[in-house]
Structures are given as C-alpha cells and as structure tokens.
C-alpha cells in the first residue's frame, strides 16, 4: 500500500456558508450549488489511480457528518480541526503524517483543473524536495505537501489575500528547506473566475 496520503479539505455546500464572494453576485443558493458541483468535479478528478496514493476527506462542519457520508459515499472522512484555515491545514498534515504517511499533500476544492496528475506530480516532487506548493492565480496556493510537519508555514500568514503564496515561499527560503513549485492554476471564488472557467 502506498504511503502517499492526500487530504482534501471540503466544506458542506450550505447556502450562506460557502462561496460568499460569489454569493454577492449570484445569491447564496446559486453559489452553494456551484460549490457542490465544483466539489464533485474535483473529487472525481482526484480519484487515486492504481493505488498511487490514499485519499482522506477533511470535512466541515462536524455536525454535517451524516450529510457528507450520504453525499460522498465510500470516502475516508476526518473532521477538520482548528480555529482558522492555517491551523486546519497544519492539523490535517499532522494527521496524515501521524497516520503513517511518508509524504502528505493537502488541497481544497476551489481549483476546477485540479487532477490526480497534479497530486502525483506533487508526490514525485517530494522525493527530492522538503515541500511542494501549487500557486493559485489569485496569489494564494491550492496545494501544499511535505514529509514532516512545518507549523511555521501556517502561522502569521495573511490568509485570503494575494500575499499567501509569497509569504509562504519567504518562510521556506528563510528556513533553508528545499521546495518545488507546481503549475499555476486558477481557483473559483468570484464571478470573474466563473466567467473565465465557463469560456
């Protein structure tokens, strides 16, 4: 069995609680539907091929556990833990590594073009680098992977800004850890992003 563990971070598509920037233009119901469709698309596209890695779904909120099980049957679910996005990602990485992973990679579901090929590329990158990171067009990142916990990558970051990727790379450079950068991909947070994807 592969000891490459992939964690995907998912929120339940409840109107008013997801895609709030998109909801400003489209309304909460439509934004939640798009969130649901995007999640299902990325789940399909990141199915582990031929045992290349094991997938874990980190879900939120905890009380929606039965709804997640009904929506995405057969997945290996774990509840997200932490007060902010950085703490949640750090805890997810730690969980994967403490569960026996030699290499741990996590993503969200906001990237329409995310695929098993990208996930495999990240694991291959970790054969020679300490960290793999996938930059997003909005200045953030869509993927981060490592072979040992690096809590400093998740502290004092200005989340949900255009500086997230740059701040993360700065920490990596100062730490002396080696890192590799994956292809740049677009995420989906605003109506402009949606228009770009539909083209």
**Whether 104 contacts 146, CB under 8 Å:** yes
Percent of residues in the chain assigned helix, strand, coil, to nearest 5:
40, 20, 40
The domain spanning residue 143 has which CATH number? Answer: 3.90.550.10
State the Rg of the chain over Cα. Answer: 16
- The predicted pLDDT at position 50 comes to 87
Which pLDDT does position 19 carry in this prediction? 86
| pLDDT for position 25 | 86
Q: According to the model, what pLDDT value does residue 2 have?
A: 75
The stretch 24-43 carries a mean pLDDT of 93
Going by C-alpha positions, the residue among 173, 7, 170, 174 that lies closest to residue 90 is 7
Number of domains the chain is built from: 1
Range of the domain at 155: 4-198
Mean pLDDT, residues 28-35: 93
Q: State the chain's maximal CA–CA distance in angstroms.
A: 46
**Residues 142-151: what's their mean pLDDT?**
97
In this model, does residue 189 exceed pLDDT 80?
Answer: no
Calculate mean pLDDT across residues 160-168: 95
Across 151-168, average pLDDT: 95
195 pLDDT band, cuts 50/70/90, is low
pTM for this prediction: 0.94
CA 125 to the chain's CA centroid: 17
Instruction: State yes or no: pLDDT of 198 exceeds 60.
Output: no
Question: Would you state the pLDDT for residue 118?
Answer: 98
Which stretch of DSSP H or E encloses residue 179? Answer: strand 179-181
DSSP 61-92: -GGGHHHHHHHSTT--EEE--SSSHHHHHHHH
Which residue in the block uniquely carries the two structure tokens 């916990």? 149
| CA–CA gap between residue 197 and residue 137 (Å, rounded) | 13
Q: 24 or 167: which carries more pLDDT confidence? A: 167
pLDDT tens-digit readout, 100-138: 999 999 999 999 999 999 999 999 999 999 999 999 999
Ranges of H-type helices in 15-162: 20-26, 28-45, 65-71, 85-98, 116-125
Give the residue-averaged pLDDT of 129-155. Answer: 97
Is the pLDDT reported for residue 199 higher than 60?
no
70 Cβ contact partners less than 8 Å away, ≥ 6 residues apart:
none
Residue 1 has pLDDT above 70, yes or no: no
Q: Could you tell me which of 31, 3, 81, 45 has the C-alpha nearest to residue 189?
A: 31
In tens, the pLDDT along 63-91 reads 999 999 999 999 999 999 999 999 999 99
Give the integer Cα–Cα distance in Å for 32 and 197.
17
Higher pLDDT, 22 or 169: 169
- Answer for the pair 113, 160: CB distance below 8 angstroms, yes or no: no
């Amino acid at each position: 069995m592969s000891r490459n563990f992939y964690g995907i971070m998912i929120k339940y598509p409840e109107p008013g609680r997801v895609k709030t920037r998109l909801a400003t233009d489209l309304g909460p119901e439509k934004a939640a539907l798009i969130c649901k469709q995007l999640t299902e698309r990325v789940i399909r596209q990141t199915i582990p091929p031929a045992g290349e890695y094991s997938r874990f779904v980190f879900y939120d909120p905890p009380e929606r556990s039965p709804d997640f099980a009904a929506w995405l049957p057969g997945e290996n679910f774990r509840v997200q833990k932490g007060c902010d996005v950085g703490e949640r990602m750090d805890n997810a990485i730690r969980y994967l590594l403490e569960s026996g992973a030699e290499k741990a990679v996590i993503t969200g579901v906001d990237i329409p073009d995310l695929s098993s090929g990208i996930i495999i590329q990240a694991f291959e990158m970790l054969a020679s680098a300490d960290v793999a990171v996938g930059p997003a067009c909005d200045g953030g990142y869509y993927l981060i992977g490592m072979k040992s916990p690096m809590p400093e990558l998740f502290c004092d970051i200005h989340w949900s800004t255009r500086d997230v990727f740059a701040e993360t790379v700065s920490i990596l450079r100062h730490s002396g850890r080696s890192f590799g950068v994956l292809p740049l991909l677009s995420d989906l947070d605003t109506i402009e992003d949606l228009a770009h994807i539909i083209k």
